[in-house]
Amino acid sequence: MKSTGKTVVVFCVLGLLIILIHFKYNHICHGRLGKSMLTQRSNEVNDNAVRECRYVFLDLGSNKGVQVRKLFEPNLYPKALIIPVFDRVFGNIFERQKYACAFGFEANPRHMKRLKFIEESYKNKGFQVDFYNLAVSDRDNAIVTIFSETNFNLDWGAGILDQAINNKANMTRYKVHTVDIVKFIVETINPLKPKAVFMKMDIEGSEFLVVPHMIKNKVLCKDIITSAGIEIHKWAGKPLNMSLDMRELEHNLKQQECVPTSVIPLDDETYNMDVAINPDS
């Protein structure tokens, strides 16, 4: 009887080992290992066919979320420079409110309460919005220091460099996780098969790291990102020991083996303090 009991235990252990090996093998073969929690959650949404994203707005450097609000409620921002771009890329406001999906990334955690309020309010209206407190980067799941202006109302230069922060004596520092934006686009946005994608990039110097990474991985192609407004912060080049300007960017885009993303010089700072009408009204 004792021998029989030992045999049963051995077979049970072997069975568990086989299950674990099979699970690990499937995850490796299907690329599940190494994906960030962010991407896995987004893929669950895609797999469940919850979203219909005919249009995607990728908001890199969301700050207080004003640009996303301009996408869904343009009537509140009649002088905004980005609205004609939305109209041209995505079509009329009724299409956007029904079929556009906005993904916003903001490294500064001080903005997240406001951003999550916008997200919840808009989802209650049927608008598809997600904000993430992650630093846009060329690496996934790394931890970076974000430097933030002490005076919250002047907090427009928060990022991985402190050059844009005036009051360094009382400067606030946060540890924030990064997101590899190429990985996010490939694993989360591409499966949605949108008709058009517009990317706004205002990431306070991190573009010197992110843009070359996107070009290297053939993401700045028109069939992936239709058009983009990219702000280049020249002051960030020296501390990062890197160079990048619009002429160099356009040249590098043309070297890709694809029709390049249409890059427009766009820096819409209108209504940067937002409007008095709240998103839940």
Query: Within the chain, what is the greatest distance between any pair of CA atoms?
Result: 85
**Six-digit token string for 237:** 């080049």
Nearest 5 degrees, angle CA 268-CA 185-CA 83?
A: 25
Express each pLDDT in 17-72 by its tens digit. Answer: 544 444 343 433 333 334 454 544 444 444 434 568 999 999 999 999 999 999 99
Whole-angstrom CA distances from 123 to 97, 98, 262 are: 11, 11, 30
Whole-angstrom CA distances from 215 to 32, 206, 256, 280 are: 24, 15, 7, 39
Express each pLDDT in 174-220 by its tens digit. Answer: 999 999 999 999 999 999 999 999 999 999 888 989 999 999 999 99
CA distance 150 to 167: 7
Express each pLDDT in 99-114 by its tens digit. Answer: 999 999 999 999 999 9
**Chain centre distance of CA 114:** 17
CA distance 150 to 64: 16
Range scoring the smallest mean pLDDT among 131-135, 150-154, 219-223: 150-154
Element (H, E) at 230: strand 227-230
pLDDT above 50: residue 157:
yes
pLDDT above 60: residue 148:
yes
Write down the domain spans for the chain: 53-264
Contacts of 228 (CB under 8 A, 6+ apart): 198, 199, 200, 201, 220, 261, 262, 263, 264
Express each pLDDT in 5-19 by its tens digit. Answer: 555 444 544 555 544
Note the pLDDT of residue 136.
96
> Which of 7-11, 146-150, 153-157, 225-229 has the highest average model confidence (pLDDT)?
225-229
CA distance 231 to 81: 14
Range scoring the smallest mean pLDDT among 184-193, 241-250, 268-277: 241-250
Note the pLDDT of residue 174.
92
Note the pLDDT of residue 49.
44
Note the pLDDT of residue 249.
87
Note the pLDDT of residue 47.
42
CATH code assigned to 53-264:
3.40.50
pLDDT above 60: residue 146:
yes
Note the pLDDT of residue 279.
97
Nearest 5 degrees, angle CA 193-CA 222-CA 207?
A: 105
CA distance 130 to 101: 8
CA distance 217 to 219: 6
CB 76 within 8 A of CB 129: no
Whole-angstrom CA distances from 118 to 40, 121, 123 are: 23, 5, 8
What whole-number percentage of the chain has pLDDT above 70?
Answer: 79
Q: Enumerate the β-bridge partners of residue 178.
A: 135
How big, in percent rounded to 5, are the helix, strand and coil portions of the chain? Answer: 45, 20, 40
CB 158 within 8 A of CB 149: yes
Q: Enumerate the β-bridge partners of residue 102.
A: 57, 129
CA distance 228 to 215: 13
Range scoring the smallest mean pLDDT among 1-10, 68-77, 153-162, 265-274: 1-10
Note the pLDDT of residue 132.
98
Task: Using pLDDT thresholds of 50, 70 and 90, give the confidence band for residue 246.
Answer: confident
